[in-house]
Structure 1
Amino acid sequence: MAYVDSADRGRIRLRRSSLICPGDDTKLLGKMETVAADVCIVDWEDGVVPARKEEARRLTAEALQKAWRCPERVIRTNGMDSDLFETDVFAAVAAGVDSIMLPKVENAEQIIEANLLIDRAEQAAGREAGTVEVWALAETVQSVQNADAIAEVPRVTCLIFGGGDLGADLRLKRIQLGSNRTLGIHRYEYFYAYSRMITAARAAGIDIQVTGFTSYTDLDASREDAEISAQFGATGALAISPRQLPIYNEVFGPGADDLVWADKVLAAVDAAAAEQRAVVVVDGSMVDGPFIRNARFLRSLQDLIDAHDGSVG
């Protein structure tokens, strides 16, 4: 099977922000063509009532024939235990989607089984084997416990942290993901799951997005929440509203100060190599391997952002 190989899984992708819309809403699907999200997610699961599932598939397929601004287009299917799942996978692959989001993933075996179905769908659609990637929506205590195995499954290139369902599974006194939080902006009750899942994702060489701040009109809090997630190591966040996208794109991308530092580090490394020096000093501080890798990552991510921005005008 020609799944996404380890080298490709580890490459840098533009996933600072994502935005989701129901697959049966023609107005919102039209807006998705031009939004500033790095990833556009079309929902066929909770966002679509049972009577309109087929209509959602049809409207999404029509919408995906147009040129979208975002680099990656994802469809969230109905659950893997649903009688809609097989039809969803074949329809999504035929529509030309880049990635399929599997909801409520609890273990690696579920994804392995789904991969076999995606194999068949790629063949039926005449698409190259292994080209459709998988996002695993981890939103239960079992998914947190099995995060390492889930992240390692072929095709999986992104985990997404689902705070609402996980909060219910943890039996929190009250699920709070917005401005109504009694503990303040910091999501203390989720920090173990954040660390567990982010570490699993990075060990597997894949990305991880977190659920964004649900009080989407509170942009200051949206920013602070994103900054916490970014410092934890998250790749990006799922926006609740388009107005959060500029914030997420900024916070999860390199800032001006970050780039100045990175360029200084890389220039100092080049100078040291030319002079056959092992010691690299930037602004009076010793810089070694981890700092150099960090600088290279920041510069590579910015180059990817610049290339995308240039391609969409």
Structure 2
Amino acid sequence: MSATIIQPAAPRLQRSQLAVPASNVTFIEKASKARADVIFLDLEDAVAPSEKVAARRNAIVALNDLDWGQKTVQVRVNGLDTEYMYRDVVEVVEACPRLDMLLLPKIGVTADVYAVDMLVTQIELAKKRSKRIGFEILIETSLGMSNVEAIAASSKRIEAMSFGVGDYAASTRARTTIIGGSSPDYGMLVGQGDPADRQFHPGDLWHYAQSRMLVACRAYGLRPIDGPFGDYSDPLSYENAARRAAALGYEGKWAIHPSQIELANSVFSPRPEEIFAAKRILNTMSEAERAGRGAVSLDGRLIDIASIKMAENLIGKATQLGLAY
């Protein structure tokens, strides 16, 4: 372990993160009753320019008047390159003590984070707020990805990062028009000779970007969250994308439609058999420690200190969810 100790962000459940356009009051009311861990009221991409000011007012009313229960509630403000962002931050943060986090889009450099942090800090001081607003950073441009490690370390307010695959694809000029999912052109052709004997093995177009952002998050104690999957009529592919992200170490995924919420909650919750296996590892290593051994075999596989850490991670998540084990 390095002598440099990074304190993790405040723990929050973030298996499912429901995007809700703040221009639609009906959608907002339904979202307050949804089973998503996180709700974000969107003032940015889902709102037309002519509706920006009204959407901001809707978000303020909803945050103050609706019962959000134990959900984490965010507002996605407009980008720093727009005329709307500063009013989004000032009006929403000043008027809404229930607000938990701001979702900051298209962050490219550390100065972007500093600008919003300074503004929020001044509002909290002026309002004498004891509750500290957290940030979730959207990494969705090539500039942001090239600076992702520095951005992750740029503010103590940052709790999480999301991978915004749609804008990232546009920024990198990837040859696709879909949001998330696979590309039929991205893969490897194997074998030789007769075309009938050759097979195409599809690859994950987003693996590098997801992995790089994940490492930056874990290095600086943040929650990595996978972003949107545009085809909400294809739940199987959504679930597959969520499972790939979970296997890498992501803690949750966006839901752009209510039908995706339960899929995300399920994928990012430990399964009973995983909890059972983790408990066996901890029990076996506890017995080994009492016997003075640092590594033992379980079911024909080596388990050691690293095995304990992996098992503890899983048990920690199960405990956070209140699952019996």
TM-score w.r.t. the length of structure 2 is 0.86
CA displacement 1:257-294 (0-9 Å, x = unmatched): 21111111122233333444433433232211222111
**Does the alignment pair 1:23 with 2:39?**
no
**Does the alignment pair 1:149 with 2:150?**
yes
**Does the alignment pair 1:33 with 2:32?**
yes
Gapped regions of structure 1 (runs ≥ 5): none
- Does the CA-based 8 Å contact 1:89-1:121 persist in structure 2? no
Equivalent AA in structure 1 for residue 82 of structure 2: S
More helix by share: 1
Mapped partners of 2:38, 2:167: distance in 1: 22
CA displacement 1:71-107 (0-9 Å, x = unmatched): 3111000111223222211222231311101111001
Mapped partners of 1:71, 1:216: distance in 2: 23
Between structure 1 and structure 2, the one with the greater Rg is 2
Matched with 1:305 is: 321
- Displacement of 1:207 in angstroms is 1.1
- Does the CA-based 8 Å contact 1:40-1:70 persist in structure 2? no
Moved more, 34-43 or 58-67: 58-67
Matched with 2:198 is: none
**Does the alignment pair 1:200 with 2:216?**
yes
Matches within 5 A, 1:240-279: 240-279=256-295
Matched with 1:137 is: 138
Equivalent AA in structure 2 for residue 87 of structure 1: R
Matched with 2:177 is: 175
Label 1:187 to 1:204 Cα distance change in 2 as closer, same or farther (>3 A): farther
Gapped regions of structure 2 (runs ≥ 5): 188-201
- Displacement of 1:220 in angstroms is 1.2
Find the residue that maps to 1:237 and give its secondary structure: strand
Mapped partners of 2:319, 2:46: distance in 1: 35
- Does the CA-based 8 Å contact 1:35-1:69 persist in structure 2? no
**Does the alignment pair 1:292 with 2:308?**
yes
Moved more, 13-22 or 176-185: 176-185
Equivalent AA in structure 2 for residue 173 of structure 1: R
- Does the CA-based 8 Å contact 1:139-1:161 persist in structure 2? yes
Moved more, 95-104 or 81-90: 81-90
- Does the CA-based 8 Å contact 2:40-2:75 persist in structure 1? yes
Mapped partners of 1:178, 1:135: distance in 2: 20
Mapped partners of 2:181, 2:83: distance in 1: 37
**Does the alignment pair 1:58 with 2:60?**
no
Matched with 2:232 is: 216
- Does the CA-based 8 Å contact 2:186-2:205 persist in structure 1? no
Matched with 2:166 is: 164
- Does the CA-based 8 Å contact 1:36-1:69 persist in structure 2? no
- Does the CA-based 8 Å contact 2:7-2:220 persist in structure 1? no
RMSD, aligned α-carbons? 2.3
Mapped partners of 2:305, 2:11: distance in 1: 19
Label 1:117 to 1:224 Cα distance change in 2 as closer, same or farther (>3 A): same
Identity of aligned residues (%): 29
- Displacement of 1:167 in angstroms is 0.8
TM-score w.r.t. the length of structure 1 is 0.89
Matches within 5 A, 1:72-151: 72-94=72-94, 95=96, 96-128=98-130, 131-151=132-152
